[in-house]
Structure 1
């Protein structure tokens, strides 16, 4: 006699417990950075894991960051590049994934493999060609150049993940929408996208951190003062012979906060996306 598989609450508890454990392990370096950003230089090297006391507490790092360079401009540039790039990656990635999962045509599999090549081939290999293209189009030292590069960088992973989730959406739901006279765009935005929100949150988190922390392309494509990102602007405190560790840790602490906020926004959907196949 065949028995229907039931959800095992114990597996759900294990999955969520593992995620909490991994989160705490991942947050420990963040905790160390935040704690040391409020300490004197001597206290940082004497006992990096100790909490700041009345003798070791210092805001010199934050004062240096705010005085040297335009920190708020760097922050604004990073926020614009990250948010716009994520929006474009999610929009175009979801549309491409929907087309690959929904419509059957010659070359469907080959097109999917071609789009997935970006996962295996790092985009940095084409840095010289990308720089030449940006020079020819006059996009050097613009945020547009960074947004285009990060969008292209994130699309392969987005298409690969979202296409698998798109295939799990009920055909009956989409066909019912077509019978009711809904257009393909309406079906996509109103019926399909709400059902794949956990997958989209997963894609957003996986792409958000590499974009926010990237130093390579801002240094190559947008090194001007008015287009510097937060990561590139923080490098001013790191010298060949002398490094201002108070300023570096303070800059990193302020740079971490937006990523943490975005992670919290997407965390619920992210956990649902990761554990959706583990709790059945």
Structure 2
């Protein structure tokens, strides 16, 4: 009886908590988008209210698209982000497959060594990375950012994918070997399709810090030809005057790729996060 009575209450509380959490997550985004469509005076006078016919103004978007080379910066961010995600998923999946499939001396220690990058921030090595890129003549290139972000994302990718690859049936892989498939064929045609939720999860969690990063683009690729969206938005922030309409418009447009990626992979992402939670 108590369980029957408490079940609807628990369900209501769960929905309330989830609704509150969703609101807290979306409130800053909604606030930025709303204020990006206001006149400058309205941004400071009524920051928490949506735009009205009197305060509605798209001058920020016109400024960003017309004067800020935003589309060019947007393309740079896409090149760096997509390239980094591709190499993180490829090399991370290969390393995770090797660690989970083959047993050898030092297997566990090697896995722990690769996971150290999760606990040690890559920014601690900024000076050494900059010296390395200067010596390799890669400063102000997309490749410099791709290499750094690939190294940054690999530890978490290996850690997550390794756990999922342990769940792939060994009998299935052994049957494929008996049928004559090579290890590469087993990896690309058998294992990767079975861990798509994990790949989607890694892709989303890898993309967000790369797309929003300001540190490494400022250090390694500050040139006009390689500026990313986040760095490009800084041109509207001056020492004495800040074009808040343009800044908020640039931030609103920068949200779109993350939102599109989430919508495309939302089902796989949820499956990847909740895998193993319910038996």
Structure 1 pair 228–106 and aligned structure 2 pair: CA distance change class (3 A): same
Higher RCO (CA 8 Å, separation ≥ 6 residues): 1
Deviation, 1:76, is 0.2
Segment drifting more, 201-210 vs 237-246: 237-246
What SS class does the counterpart of residue 195 from structure 2 fall into? helix
1:113-192 matches, within 5 Å, as 113-192=112-191
Q: In structure 1, the residue corresponding to 2:87 is in which secondary structure?
A: helix
SS at match of 1:39: coil
**Superposition RMSD on alpha carbons, in Å?**
2.0
Q: Which residue of 2 aligns with 1:86?
A: 85
CA distance in 1 between counterparts of 2:258 and 2:278 reads: 28
The aligned residue for residue 209 of structure 2 is 210
What residue number does 2:250 align with? Answer: 251
CA spacing shift, 1:267–1:21, aligned 2, 3 Å = farther
Q: For 2:93 and 2:130, how far apart are their aligned partners in 1?
A: 28
What is the Cα deviation at residue 28 of structure 1?
Answer: 2.0
Deviation at 1:125, TM superposition (A): 0.6
In structure 1, distance between residues paired with 2:74 and 2:17 = 33
Equivalence for 2:75: 76
Match for residue 106 of structure 1? Answer: 105
Match for residue 6 of structure 2? none
Aligned to 1:90, the other structure's residue is in SS state helix
Task: Answer whether contact 1:12 1:279 (CA < 8 A) is retained.
Answer: no
User: In structure 2, do the counterparts of structure 1 residues 234 and 195 end up closer, same or farther at CA, with 3 Å as the change threshold?
Assistant: same
- Are 2:32 and 1:33 equivalent residues in the alignment? yes
Return 5+ residue gaps in structure 2 as ranges: 1-9
Deviation of 1:242 after TM superposition, in Å, equals 2.1
TM-aligned CA distance change 1:111 to 1:15, over 3 Å: farther
Residues 1:44 and 2:14 aligned together:
no
Structure 1 residue 68 displacement after superposition = 2.5
Question: What's 2:7 paired with?
Answer: none
Deviation at 1:23, TM superposition (A): 4.0
Shift of 1:49: 2.2
Aligned length: 270
| Cα distance, 1:79–1:25 mapped onto 2, change above 3 Å | same
- For residues 261 and 13 of structure 1, do their structure 2 counterparts lie closer, same or farther at Cα, with a shift above 3 Å needed? farther
1:226 partner SS: coil
Q: TM-score, normalised by structure 2?
A: 0.92
Q: Which moved more, 1:70-79 or 1:40-49?
A: 40-49
1:153-190 CA-to-partner distances (Å, cap 9, x unmatched) read: 00000000100111111111101101111101111111
TM-score (norm 1): 0.92
Q: Distance in 1 between matches of 2:213 and 2:171?
A: 43
TM-fit CA distance, 1:193: 0.8
Equivalent residue number for residue 8 of structure 1: none
1:53, distance to aligned residue in structure 2 (A): 1.1
Tell me if 1:239 matches 2:228: no
- 2 CA distance for matches of 1:97 and 1:166? 7
What is the alpha-carbon distance in structure 1 between the residues aligned to residue 62 and residue 269 of structure 2?
36
Give secondary structure in 2 for the equivalent of 1:225. coil
Aligned CA distance change for structure 1 residues 136 and 210 (closer, same or farther; 3 Å): same
Which whole-Å CA distance do the structure 2 matches of 1:276 and 1:13 have between them? 24
Cα distance between partner residues in 2 of 1:154 and 1:242? 36
